[in-house]
Amino acid sequence: MSMSRGSVCRRCLLTMKSMAGGGPTSTYAQQRGKKTWHGPKYQAKIDQAQADWEERAEKIKKGEIQHTWDMFVERGYVKDTAGSHETIRKLMLHKRIGAYTGIDPTAPSLHIGHLLPLMPIFWMYMHGYAGYTLIGGATAKIGDPTDRLVSRTPLKRTDLTMNLTKIHYQLKALWMNVEEQARRRGFEKDWAWKRAVVNNSTWWNSLPLIEVLKRLGDSMRMGPLLSRDTVKNKMSKGDGMSFSEFTYPLMQGWDWWHMYQANGIQMQIGGSDQYGNIVTGVETVKVVRDNEPDPAKKIEGGPFNDPVGFTVPLLTDSAGVKFGKSAGNAFLDKFQTSEFDLYGYFVRRSDQEVEKLLKLFTFLPMENINEAMKIHSENPARRVAQHLLAFEVVGLVHGMNAAHRTALNHQARYGKQIDIPGVTLRMPKAATEDTPPSILDAPKMDMQLPESLIMGKSIGRILYAAGLAKSASEGHRLATQQGAYIGAMPGHKRTEDNKVMDYSQLSFTPIKLWFPQETRNYLIDGKLLILRKGKVQIRVIEMVSDEEWKESGQTYPGEPGTGALRMLRQQLKMLKSGMLTPDEVKANLKNHVEEEAPPPGFMKFPDQDSYAIRRATQELMDEIHQKEVGGDSPREERRE
């Protein structure tokens, strides 16, 4: 290895040698110096990744490429650090560490404030480090007490499930867009790039308390824990502190330990309110690591194995309040803040803050930002820099097609030509029938459906009602072919009690054709059903009483008395009143609703609905005939 020793001690150098470029495989096993067996092809990839990393370090040292850490500092991402700048810089130079940031699903959507700690994670991924995004399914049950004087209202179980499902898919969509941004900016993806969306319920749901107490509890001293500002303030000025709130930072620290030993995650990033939790986390990881009772599993300490972290500055609204769920309202869920409104939010940013925001929220190289600011300063009224910012953020959050479409919509709405430096706006191609649905254009995932449907109708009809199948028969087909999934414990092929999904940990199992009364076994907390078709078409369905459903005025596809029957009756009424002509009615009838076929192996009995539909059709035809020819209807002629 050709790196200079500099001020690094001999022992650290040895550790570095064994770990430089270790990449996604620099896991617990490697850290504790154990040899893991890889096939020759896999080993060749590891060796190549390591060689690339060393080559990169050389180029950074020669000043040919910028150090990722220096870029973070230059763009304004670094507020406080856990570990000195120099330690972090050296660590990142020589070791392909992983970094993570965590978000508790306490609301149904991420907002622009969350994007700030995510940005350095995305940058690190593009530069070849591992980028992990964690959803706090377990920690959200407790609630982070940081900077609060009053405890949080506990989340309802169904709200937690809803929030974590939505945030999970938002993060997945964001990661897809990060891939697009990386391609756009010319980063070449290689085998060693690693990213993940994880949920801390995965380990907390099966972690014995005794393990936490033994590995962590014995060594953590009460003094430093009690002297933390959050604890002192909440106890002296607020409503006191519960034991679970008190342990929250230790849970967060354990998360870090879990990913440190399993995935080589050595860095944590958070908003500046997370500094205390990150510092406690550093301590936690070291304590748990050093309390390993099995000498064969021991991980060495030292600057090249110790955890480090940093915080990003807090994004505040114009009044200086932390941008969050209540202050400001730019959410990443397009059903909460439309693409158009998100674009508008960034176009309205002031001239004073636009440069800072371009550095924080875009992957534009600094030269492009400087150039754009120069053009902007020539005529600030044109808001060139703000449009560039809006275009880039919408591109990151909703994809580049959405960015072009939204900028063009903006132009059309305000009738002014928009100039975005370096961008030629284009009309995005419309999705065709056979384009597979993407997570980015997935329809709204939360909906309500009535109890009579969920408790009494077949799963095929429910899939149809939820918009996951074009008809009940397609729904039945999906169920028989196991092409759809239900939120449930994986691996359970039969519907029995207690196979319901844990409400804090998203998991799916294929749907089978079961008796209508069995669907209830999958209801989370007695009222939430999660369905999925393909990878990204999700429905989080809240079951409401039939009365509530009626009151809401909603209808679902296939609802008795709606759809075909309702349409026929409406057309008849309008035809009779002269609001529609026979030709118009005939044209409307062409878009008739597909009649449901029975599921394979089931016998179709004539039911009331189809009889009623036949009668209504006949009545409408008679009326059309009468209007067209005048005089008597064919039936009456026949009767004569």
Ligand X SMILES: N[C@@H](Cc1ccc(O)cc1)C(=O)O
CB crowding 23-33: b at 16 or more within 10 Å, else e: bbbbbbebbbe
Q: Is 248 annotated for ligand binding?
A: yes
Which of ligand ATP, ligand X, none lies near 309, with the C-beta cut-off 5 to 8 A by kind? none
Minimum separation from the CB atom of position 156 to ligand X (A)? 18
Binding segment for ligand ATP among 155-163, 228-236, 319-327, 486-494 (CB under 6 A)?
319-327
Give dist(CA 490, CA 487) in Å, integer: 9
User: Of the candidates 323, 346, 503, 522, which one interacts with ligand ATP according to CB under 6 A?
Assistant: 323
Q: Which of 553, 569, 573 is nearest to 561 (CA)?
A: 569
Beta strand 265-271 pairing with 81-82: unpaired
Q: Are 263 and 289 in contact (CB under 8 A)?
A: no
User: Of the candidates 27, 202, 274, 280, which one interacts with ligand X according to CB under 6 A?
Assistant: 274
Our CB check for ligand X shows the closer of 276 and 582 to be: 276
Our CB check for ligand X shows the closer of 25 and 277 to be: 277
CB-based contacts of 496, cutoff 8 Å, min separation 6: 521
Q: Is 114 in the site for ligand ATP (CB under 6 A)?
A: yes
Query: Which residue sits closest to ligand X, CB atoms considered?
Result: 102
Give dist(CA 304, CA 15) in Å, integer: 7
Binding segment for ligand ATP among 268-276, 384-392, 405-413, 433-441 (CB under 6 A)?
268-276
Q: Are 241 and 145 in contact (CB under 8 A)?
A: yes
Q: Is 115 in the site for ligand X (CB under 6 A)?
A: no
Q: Is 102 in the site for ligand X (CB under 6 A)?
A: yes
Which of ligand ATP, ligand X, none lies near 314, with the C-beta cut-off 5 to 8 A by kind? ligand ATP
Q: Is 351 annotated for ligand binding?
A: no
Minimum separation from the CB atom of position 238 to ligand ATP (A)? 15
Planar angle of CA 263, 160, 436, nearest 5 degrees: 70
Q: Is 136 in the site for ligand X (CB under 6 A)?
A: yes
Query: Residue 368 to residues 162, 184, 363, 424: CA-CA distances in angstroms?
Result: 40, 14, 10, 15
Per CB under 6 A, contacts with ligand ATP among 208-247 are none
Identify the residue whose tokens are 């064919």. Answer: 634
Which of ligand ATP, ligand X, none lies near 117, with the C-beta cut-off 5 to 8 A by kind? ligand ATP
Our CB check for ligand ATP shows the closer of 24 and 117 to be: 117
Whether the CA torsion 256, 260, 266, 269 is positive or negative: it is: negative
Q: Which of 137, 134, 203 is nearest to 503 (CA)?
A: 137
Which of ligand X, ligand ATP, none lies near 134, with the C-beta cut-off 5 to 8 A by kind? ligand X
Q: Is 100 annotated for ligand binding?
A: yes
User: Of the candidates 21, 98, 117, 475, which one interacts with ligand ATP according to CB under 6 A?
Assistant: 117
Q: Is 622 annotated for ligand binding?
A: no
Our CB check for ligand X shows the closer of 209 and 603 to be: 209
| DSSP summary character for residue 322 | B
Per CB under 6 A, contacts with ligand ATP among 382-421 are none
Our CB check for ligand ATP shows the closer of 104 and 339 to be: 104
Which of ligand X, ligand ATP, none lies near 113, with the C-beta cut-off 5 to 8 A by kind? ligand ATP
In the chain, what's the furthest Cα-to-Cα distance?
110
Where residue 294 falls (left for φ over 0; alpha for ψ -120 to 50; beta otherwise) is beta
Query: Residue 346 to residues 122, 329, 358: CA-CA distances in angstroms?
Result: 20, 12, 10
Which of ligand X, ligand ATP, none lies near 573, with the C-beta cut-off 5 to 8 A by kind? none
Minimum separation from the CB atom of position 197 to ligand X (A)? 13
**Alpha helices (H) in 291-338, listed in sequence order:** none
Q: Is 104 in the site for ligand ATP (CB under 6 A)?
A: yes
Binding segment for ligand ATP among 29-37, 312-320, 408-416, 587-595 (CB under 6 A)?
312-320
Q: Is 322 annotated for ligand binding?
A: no
CB-based contacts of 548, cutoff 8 Å, min separation 6: 448, 450
Q: Which of 81, 127, 87, 102 is nearest to 270 (CA)?
A: 102
Q: Is 252 annotated for ligand binding?
A: yes
Q: Is 113 in the site for ligand ATP (CB under 6 A)?
A: yes
Per CB under 6 A, contacts with ligand ATP among 141-180 are 144
Our CB check for ligand ATP shows the closer of 274 and 571 to be: 274
Give DSSP secondary structure letters for 268-301. Answer: EEEEGGGHHHHHHHHHHHHHHHHT---GGG----
Our CB check for ligand X shows the closer of 281 and 399 to be: 281
Q: Is 144 in the site for ligand X (CB under 6 A)?
A: yes
User: Of the candidates 23, 281, 324, 599, which one interacts with ligand ATP according to CB under 6 A?
Assistant: 324
Give the three-state DSSP class for 258.
helix
Q: Is 274 in the site for ligand ATP (CB under 6 A)?
A: yes
User: Of the candidates 170, 277, 337, 505, which one interacts with ligand X according to CB under 6 A?
Assistant: 277
CB-based contacts of 475, cutoff 8 Å, min separation 6: 458, 459, 460, 461, 462, 463, 464, 468, 469, 484
Give burial (CB, 10 Å; 0-12/13-18/19+) of 486: buried
Our CB check for ligand ATP shows the closer of 113 and 599 to be: 113
For 295, the token pair is: 């000498």
Q: Is 525 annotated for ligand binding?
A: no
Give the three-state DSSP class for 229.
helix
Minimum separation from the CB atom of position 330 to ligand X (A)? 18
Q: Is 503 annotated for ligand binding?
A: no
User: Of the candidates 27, 50, 139, 266, which one interacts with ligand X according to CB under 6 A?
Assistant: 139
Compute φ and ψ for 101, nearest 5 degrees.
-135, 145
Query: Residue 564 to residues 24, 359, 574, 610: CA-CA distances in angstroms?
Result: 56, 55, 15, 9
Give dist(CA 97, CA 612) in Å, integer: 67
Give dist(CA 512, CA 57) in Å, integer: 53
Minimum separation from the CB atom of position 114 to ligand ATP (A)? 5
Q: Is 255 in the site for ligand X (CB under 6 A)?
A: yes
Whether the CA torsion 13, 281, 93, 96 is positive or negative: it is: positive
Q: Is 315 in the site for ligand ATP (CB under 6 A)?
A: yes
User: Of the candidates 17, 184, 325, 614, which one interacts with ligand ATP according to CB under 6 A?
Assistant: 325
Identify the residue whose tokens are 């939430």. Answer: 528
Minimum separation from the CB atom of position 461 to ligand X (A)? 40
Query: Which residue sits closest to ligand ATP, CB atoms considered?
Result: 271
**Binding-site residues from annotation for ATP:** 104, 325
Residues in touch with ligand ATP (CB under 6 A): 101, 103-104, 106, 113-114, 116-117, 144, 270-271, 273-274, 312, 314-315, 322-325
Residues in touch with ligand X (CB under 6 A): 102-104, 134, 136, 139, 144, 200, 252, 255, 274, 277
**Binding-site residues from annotation for L-tyrosine:** 100, 144, 248, 252, 255, 274
**Binding-site residues from annotation:** 100, 104, 144, 248, 252, 255, 274, 325
